[in-house]
Amino acid sequence: MTMPDFTFETALLTAGANRVAGVDEVGRGPLAGPVVAAAVVLDPARLPDGLNDSKKLTARRREALCAAIWDMAQVGIGQASVEEIDRINILRASHLAMERAVAALPEAPDHLLIDGNMIPLGLTLPADAVVKGDGRSLSIAAASIVAKTWRDRLMWDLAQQFPGYGWESNAGYPSKSHKEALRNLGVTPHHRRSFKPVHNILYQDKSVSD
């Protein structure tokens, strides 16, 4: 199994950059909750051991690595709300969350490594898009871990306020049980109304009431 490494960052640091930030987001696919992004500037002299794409790690391992990242690196978190997702669409909201994460870093980075194939228009710093970057760049992997851990905790908290949807385990993604709960319990303020399964329920409910 190939693991992410520090190749991208080393090349940029050698070329004169002082702080290279990896940027990733989580939460494009769920029916509920915000989209969350993280920006992480790793210290080349203190790299947490075992960084990898967050999807390849257990929840317990992510939690441990997340704590190490916060301790050893510079971290910024950004979110875009359900209202923003519905208003500007999920892609633009994801980019907005990334922009906010970079702005939240304690020091401005010199260069960004963005997971995916697009660089958000609102980011004016030098940047490279890295396809499948969370499996190639340690900084992006670290950002993926922080973003997922942050969002999972947030959805766990929301699950306590809105029980029955299984957000503590499905994190708002469209699992079978989540979709059944949506039909049986209805739409909450934290559901994305522009997403088809939610929109369809609202539309059907309106048709019935009309």
25 belongs to an annotated ligand binding site: yes
For every residue of 55-103, DSSP letters joined together read: GGS-HHHHHHHHHHHHHHSEEEEEEE-HHHHHHH-HHHHHHHHHHHHHH
Q: Which residue has the tokens 């922080």?
A: 146
Cα–Cα distance measured from residue 139 to residue 7, given in angstroms and rounded to the nearest whole number: 10
Rg of the Cα trace of the chain?
18
Helix axes 176-185, 196-209, angle to 10 degrees: 20
SS3 state at 57: coil
115 belongs to an annotated ligand binding site: yes
Cα–Cα distance measured from residue 144 to residue 53, given in angstroms and rounded to the nearest whole number: 7
Q: Are 140 and 50 in contact (CB under 8 A)?
A: no
86 belongs to an annotated ligand binding site: no
Binding region for a divalent metal cation: 24-25, 115
Binding residues: 24-25, 115
